[in-house]
């Protein structure tokens, strides 16, 4: 299941995988057409809605606010 940020300005992120460490995941980060970099980011700690599938301090809405019809990220 693909998770993505709401429309926003600034850096773009794509989830690559859970890195095996509790509370973090491996993400690809890029801005415009510039080079991309791999980053390990902490999971979003926001409570409610069954948990957010994004990283801490992400832009805009939590995943359950943006796509309420989708299954939780633990599926």
pLDDT tens, residue by residue, 16-70: 987 666 889 999 988 877 788 999 999 888 876 567 888 898 877 777 775 555 5
- Given this model, what pLDDT does residue 19 score? 63
39: nearest Cα among 55, 48, 28, 50: 28
Strand partners, 19: none
Q: How, if at all, do strands 12-17 and 37-42 pair?
A: unpaired
């Amino acid at each position: 299941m693909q998770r993505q940020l709401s429309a926003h300005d600034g850096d773009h992120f794509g989830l690559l995988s859970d890195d095996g460490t509790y509370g973090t995941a491996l993400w690809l980060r890029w801005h415009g057409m510039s080079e991309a970099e791999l980053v390990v980011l902490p999971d979003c700690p926001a409570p409610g809605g069954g948990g957010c599938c994004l990283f801490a301090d992400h832009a805009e809405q939590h995943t359950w606010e943006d796509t309420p019809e989708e299954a939780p990220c633990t599926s």
